[in-house]
């Protein structure tokens, strides 16, 4: 890994964000709207649901964590799409940069984009709704890392599709996370799902992350084995994501699509 090259590619995206106020505004706008929407829903539920009555902020915390996952994945996809939209794809792939360095650069820069959007939104939740995700405590770091790995993995799978099928795969990029959301048990316990769906849901790290978040916030119990299980599953998906990306890249080289992907 050449860190100078990884930095160079990150710099390209940092310049892009830094040079455009509307872009920064766009990064902040959606998470903030999301936080306010779920903040009010959360407030309503805490007043009207016996499950949530003594646990102010569970839904909002879940919304913040889910948005973190969503933004990580979308940031990854967006940076890749930027190369296609700007027709810079060929320039990038004829530069002496390894595929692993491209993946690393996008992974590191995605966190930067994600934080720009999410930190202001998460901070706003404190004065407006009295909810701070920091209440989760030290396990929060593990939950965020797990979500981030899984978010990047989804980004990798979508970018693999973009390399394989071209820009027409763009719509899938936006739809990918909504597809998994019902199975992630973000706002409800896993028992809500039919039994056969529970089996599938448990194969995703999301269930373990959000179940653990609820355990911490409702029962004040930290189950590290559950957290490490989620990290392990996420990492497994990450390996699958990287492998898929390499296979797609190799396929694109065979089909000759890398040279005109932006056209």
Partner 1 sequence: MELIVKNLVKKFKSTVAVDNISFKIEKNNTLGLLGPNGCGKTTSIGMMLGLITPTQGEILINGTKLNSENRIKLLSFMNFASPYIELPKKLTVRQNLEVYARLYGVNEKVQRIDELIEELNLSKFLYRNTGELSSGQKNRVSLAKSLINKPKLLFLDEPTASLDPDVGDFVREYLEKYKKKNELTMLLASHNMKEVERLCDKVIMMKQGKIVDNGTCQEIIKKHGRENLEDTFLKIARSKNELE
Which positions lie near partner 1, rule CB under 8 A?
2, 4-5, 7-9, 11-12, 15-16, 19-20, 82-83, 86-91, 93-98, 250, 253-256, 258-260, 262-263
- Which candidate, 216, 234, 25, 258, places its Cα nearest to that of 121? 25
- Which candidate, 68, 63, 62, places its Cα nearest to that of 217? 62
Least separation in angstroms between residue 250's CB and partner 1 is 8
Cβ closest to partner 1, residue 237 vs residue 249:
249
Distances in whole angstroms, Cα of residue 115 to Cα of each of 67, 104, 161:
11, 17, 26
Cβ closest to partner 1, residue 17 vs residue 180:
17
Least separation in angstroms between residue 168's CB and partner 1 is 18
146 touches 227 (CB < 8 A): yes
Least separation in angstroms between residue 223's CB and partner 1 is 44
- Tell me the two tokens of residue 122: 């998460």
Least separation in angstroms between residue 88's CB and partner 1 is 5
Least separation in angstroms between residue 9's CB and partner 1 is 7
Q: Which residues contact 56 (CB under 8 A, 6 or more apart)?
A: 42, 46, 129, 130, 131
* SS3 at position 184: helix
Say how far apart CA 100 and CA 218 lie, in whole Å. 41
Helix axes 139-165, 170-184, angle to 10 degrees: 140
Cβ closest to partner 1, residue 22 vs residue 194:
22
Least separation in angstroms between residue 104's CB and partner 1 is 13
Q: What letter does residue 95 receive in the DSSP assignment?
A: S
Cβ closest to partner 1, residue 20 vs residue 243:
20
Cβ closest to partner 1, residue 2 vs residue 49:
2
Cβ closest to partner 1, residue 49 vs residue 88:
88
């Amino acid at each position: 890994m050449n860190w100078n090259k990884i930095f160079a590619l990150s710099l390209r995206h940092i310049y892009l964000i830094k040079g455009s106020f509307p872009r920064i505004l766009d990064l902040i706008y959606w998470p903030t709207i999301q936080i306010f929407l779920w903040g009010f829903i959360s407030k309503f539920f805490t007043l009207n649901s016996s499950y949530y009555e003594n646990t102010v902020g569970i839904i909002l915390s879940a919304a913040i964590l889910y948005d973190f996952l969503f933004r990580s994945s979308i940031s990854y996809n967006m940076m890749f799409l930027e190369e296609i939209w700007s027709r810079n794809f060929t320039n990038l792939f004829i530069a002496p940069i390894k595929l692993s360095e491209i993946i690393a650069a996008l992974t590191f820069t995605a966190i930067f984009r994600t934080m720009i959007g999410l930190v202001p939104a998460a901070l706003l939740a404190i004065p407006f709704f009295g909810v701070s995700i920091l209440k989760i405590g030290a396990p929060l770091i593990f939950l965020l890392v797990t979500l981030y790995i899984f978010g990047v993995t989804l980004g990798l799978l979508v970018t693999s599709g973009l390399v394989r099928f071209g820009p027409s795969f763009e719509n899938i990029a936006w739809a990918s996370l909504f597809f998994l959301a019902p199975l992630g048990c973000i706002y409800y316990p896993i028992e809500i799902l039919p039994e056969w769906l529970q089996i599938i849901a448990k194969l995703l790290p999301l269930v373990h992350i959000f179940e653990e978040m609820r355990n911490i916030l409702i029962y004040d119990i930290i189950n590290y084995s559950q957290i490490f299980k989620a990290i392990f599953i996420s990492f497994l998906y990450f390996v699958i994501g990287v492998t898929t990306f390499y296979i797609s890249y190799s396929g694109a080289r065979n089909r000759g699509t890398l040279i005109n992907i932006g056209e």
